[in-house]
Structure 1
Amino acid sequence: MAIKAAFFDIDGTLVSFKTHEIPKSTIDAIAKAKENGVKIYISTGRPVAIINNIGAIEHLIDGYITFNGAYCFVGDEDIVVKPIPKEDVLAMIEDASRRNYSVIVCGKKDIAIHNYREIFTKIFVEDLGVTNIDIRKPIDSLLESPILQLTPFFSSESEAHIMPDMPHCVSARWHPDFTDITVKGADKGNALRTMAAHLGYKIGECIAFGDGGNDVSILQSAGIGVAMGNASKEVKAKADYITTSVDEDGIRNALQHFGVID
């Protein structure tokens, strides 16, 4: 079955953790796929407000899965909007204050940090290149609108402590020092299935690329799930195909392997 839609994670898949840029081979491969009639979609854990590192291919993108599937859209059309219940949001905010960790609180278009700590700057600014978050912005006004994702900076042990108090939520960890929390049912795999049905694709016509734990659901849901060479063993075990790393032309090589491009 011919591939008609390709879904790409950003960090570690499209964008190198080493250079913080999209390799030229990836840019060229995606442009070629687009020329060949393949629709291009982003599939990221990032909130919309901090998708700031894909400018080289932004003009090629047909739609977005963001917040790990809690908010999906094509142009001005919202396809999925799944906020976290208010009581779960408040449970995390109260726990973060009590146990002294930072949480990124994410609305549909805006974000703020509760209980800022330097670990945010170390990971999001220095490692991930996110430079457009105002760490002084209060969360109060944001809490009056739907919250689509919470990103706490804590260990898996601390995660296990709080999650029972957030019964409507799931965690998708792709970094040892933080995780992304969304409402149950909001994951990249469910988002792909919803997007495909809405846009008229068969699952077998969809290929997905990823490298982190939050990509497992979409790799398993797509007709073809491709793990990057820099992915963990656990992620690779869930993929249909393992390509080379983001820094070793992984996307181009996989698209060639499956005949999407020459």
Structure 2
Amino acid sequence: MSYKLIVTDMDGTLLGSNHQVTDENKLALKKALEKGINVAVATGRMFDSAKSHTSFLGNKMPIISCNGALIQEAETGEVIYSNKMDSNVCLDIINILEKHNVFYQCCTSDTLMCKYNKEYLEKYKDIHDSMAKEINIVIKDDFTKDVLENDILKLIVSEENNSELLEKLKKDISKIADLEITSSWFNNIEIMNKDVNKGNAVSHIAKYLGIDKKDIIAFGDNYNDVSMLEYVGMGVAMGNADDFIKEKANYVTSINDESGVAKALYNLAGI
């Protein structure tokens, strides 16, 4: 089938385990653009971080960032869609997180605010150093003023060794307000406004580009990709995805380190 739009997640999908886009994936997406097929990324990352990994496409694409809370044109930065969280709701969530002493982050359109946690920051120093080259990172102990003065798009909670605590936090936070709570990795939960998800974001792009959802192929590997895989005409799960994600997809491709995005495009889209 000839698709009109390709949408791909980044980490665990378009990117290999070295956090870089594989050469084969680059080639396949470039060929898609040459054929007149639109390409977009849908990621939990922030806009600038996503853009830094997709410059090989010449910035000719919309970027869905923060799990769908923000959609921008890569080339111009024009905002297509934005859905910020209520400041007081954010503070209520942070109050719960503080009681459990977990590591958390608040995302704006251009800044990642990290709760100071020496152990966590030392463990993931390389990742934070890499991210600091792409986005503005602020590490501090109290976000109250920042939350009130900035538009928060997403909160991320990380807990390495206690999955039961993450489940408890989900339940406690869901009592505060009608929120969208998902996960992009085994050790985190991500919190946005209700109905902020990749599936709804792709629907906004489809309307923006005048494309029917049956003409869209999308790729993902984790729970925050499910809404997108279910929305489009062809949802493709990566070989490295959990079985639950694979069951929600129409097709399962190779793992991310084997350029599964490119391989599926060869087989399904005639790239």
TM-score, normalised via structure 2 length: 0.87
Q: Calculate the aligned-residue CA RMSD, in Å.
A: 2.3
Alignment of 1:49-198 (within 5 A): 49-51=48-50, 54-55=53-54, 57-74=56-73, 75-120=76-121, 122-123=123-124, 125-126=126-127, 129-132=130-133, 133-136=137-140, 139=143, 140-154=145-159, 155=163, 156-198=166-208
- Work out the percentage of aligned pairs sharing the same amino acid: 29
Partner of 2:16: 16
Q: State the alpha-carbon separation in 2 of the partners of residues 98 and 223 from structure 1.
A: 43
Q: Is the 8 A contact 1:65 1:73 kept in 2?
A: yes
- Taking structure 1 as reference, are residues 204 and 163 closer, same or farther at Cα in structure 2, changes over 3 Å only? same
Query: In 2, distance between residues paired with 1:178 and 1:39?
Result: 31
Select 2:255's aligned residue among 245, 251, 260. Answer: 245
Change in 2 beyond 3 A, CA 1:49/1:99 = farther
> Structure 1 residues 44 and 254 mapped into 2: Cα distance closer, same or farther (>3 Å)?
same
Counterpart secondary structure, 2:192 = strand
Show CA shifts across 1:85-144 (max 9, x none): 222201121122222112111112222113435335535844995344342496333531
Q: Where does structure 1 lack aligned partners over 5 or more consecutive residues? A: none
Q: Secondary structure at 1:198's aligned position in 2?
A: helix
Q: d(CA) in 2 for partners of 1:138 and 1:42?
A: 32
Please report how far the alpha carbon of residue 191 of structure 1 lies from its aligned counterpart in structure 2 after TM superposition. Answer: 0.7
Q: Greater shift after overlay, 239-248 or 110-119?
A: 110-119
Q: Is the 8 A contact 1:45 1:66 kept in 2?
A: yes
Structure 1 contact 20–53 (Cα < 8 Å) conserved: no
How many residue pairs get aligned? The number is 260
CA distance in 1, matches of 2:48, 2:118: 20
SS at structure 2 position matched to 1:112? strand
Q: String of CA shifts for 1:71-92, please: whole Å, max 9, x gaps.
A: 1122333222111122220112
The 3 A distance-change label for structure 1 pair 29 and 124 is: farther
Partners of 1:36 and 1:148 lie apart in 2 by: 34
Letter in 1 for 2:4: K
Q: Could you tell me the TM-score, scaled by structure 1's length?
A: 0.90
User: Which sections of structure 2, spanning at least 5 residues, go unmatched?
Assistant: none
